Amino acid sequence: MLSFKFTELFLSILFILINFLLGLFLSLLQTTSFTFLCIGHFISGTFLGCQQLLNTLSLACHRRIFEIFCSGKYFIK
């Protein structure tokens, strides 16, 4: 009967320790993954921002060329 109490005490302490270590490990993993997500968002936001700006400028440039071409100012008469 005494060995059963020691086994029960040992298992309960072991489960508490495993629970504590698992919680610590998962919290560290969560902090690291959030850091990498923020860095990835920052980098992709920077690159996509440049791409969006280039697309906007190229569309504006094509529109301006189309307006000049359609106005007829540069046709040889």
Residue 25 lies in a domain: yes
Position 35 pLDDT exceeds 70: no
The pLDDT score that the predictor gives to residue 25 is 85
40, 45, 47, 48, 51 from 56: Cα distances, Å = 24, 16, 14, 12, 9
Q: What share of the chain in percent tops pLDDT 90?
A: 19
Number of domains present in the structure of the chain: 1
| Host domain of residue 24 | 9-35
Residue 30 lies in a domain: yes
Give the helix ranges, DSSP H, for the chain.
Answer: 2-71
pTM across the whole model: 0.40
Residue 16 lies in a domain: yes
Higher confidence at residue 14 or residue 54?
14
Residue 75 lies in a domain: no
Question: Average pLDDT for residues 62-75, to the nearest whole number?
Answer: 57
Residue 61 lies in a domain: no
Question: Average pLDDT for residues 39-64, to the nearest whole number?
Answer: 53
